[in-house]
Structure 1
């Protein structure tokens, strides 16, 4: 299963568990533990994806001058994404 498909399946299962939690039946102890694991996996993946997007970012002001934060530039240099 591709990573994107896997994360879609994780999100679907989290939503299923959320819907069940709202019913009178509620969640079993096993489902509560599963939900916690799935949420942690989802958040970890989200953070990694967001970090990757920020690290690829280049920021320019209205005059066309690059104003990318130095911290981001350093990370880009370390990853071989930037020459300067």
Structure 2
């Protein structure tokens, strides 16, 4: 969940979000290749999260495995959703 987005007094942009207990996609992949099924599911979750971000004017600009966190339940970016899925227009 995103709690706040803004700029510091020095002009540095920030996004304040909830802590997600998990590993990055980079860390998970370092233990061995992920299955095709899991890779596909994570790709869909990442695309869904990016769509929601873009709908509210947020552009990530640095999507890479080290910046994608998979929570303990094996969920990707849905665990860091910008707003609940049911309210999406």
Whether TM-score is above 0.5 comes out as no
Give the alignment's TM-score, normalised by structure 1.
Answer: 0.37
Name the structure, 1 or 2, with higher relative contact order (CA <8 Å, separation 6+). Answer: 2
Give the alignment's TM-score, normalised by structure 2.
Answer: 0.36
Which of the pair has more CA radius of gyration?
A: 1
